[in-house]
Amino acid sequence: LDPLRTFAVAAVLGLPRCRVEGALQATMSLLSRCLGTGEDVALVLRDIGVLLVEQREVRMRFYHDFLGAVSGKENLEKGVFKTRELLDMVVPRGVPVAALTSFGSVIVFPECVR
């Protein structure tokens, strides 16, 4: 782990750096174990979207409001809603994660609690 980045993340969250590093290590360990055993995984990235790994295929589904904040609402409407492939990458916030998967089960990774 990059110490400078974990220090910055810890500062933003108001948490000790060792706690942030521990949470990142635990998440990476769980993800590695799941992928190593061939399990399908949905990793929820709060405020960004959901990273899906199904049958060794990786897809990212972004929350609509995240893309709007990053690209601007006008650009989002011009680009995403006119391209079928991009439209499949956008999901509304609050959609059940299991609904995004073809396998219907989800491994929910622990969330760091302040």
The pLDDT score that the predictor gives to residue 106 is: 65
Ranking 4-8, 45-49, 81-85 by mean pLDDT, the lowest is 81-85
The pLDDT score that the predictor gives to residue 113 is: 56
User: Residue 101's pLDDT band (boundaries 50, 70, 90)?
Assistant: confident
The answer to the question of residue 88 being in a domain is yes
- Residue 40, number of CB atoms within 10 A of its CB: 19
Is the overall model pTM greater than 0.75, yes or no? no
Higher-pLDDT residue of 79 and 42 is 42
The pLDDT score that the predictor gives to residue 105 is: 62
The answer to the question of residue 62 being in a domain is yes
The answer to the question of residue 103 being in a domain is yes
- The tally of domains found in the chain comes to 1
Question: Per residue in 12-38, pLDDT tens?
Answer: 889 898 988 888 888 888 888 888 888
Q: Write the CB contacts of 71 (distance below 8 Å, at least 6 apart in sequence).
A: 79
The answer to the question of residue 46 being in a domain is yes
Residue-range definition of the domain harbouring residue 102: 3-109
Beta strands, E only, the chain: 41-45, 49-54, 57-63, 90-91
Average of per-residue pLDDT across 51-62? 86
Average of per-residue pLDDT across 43-58? 85
The answer to the question of residue 114 being in a domain is no
Task: State the pairing for strand pair 90-91/57-63.
Answer: parallel
Question: Could you tell me which of 35, 43, 34 has the C-alpha nearest to residue 100?
Answer: 43
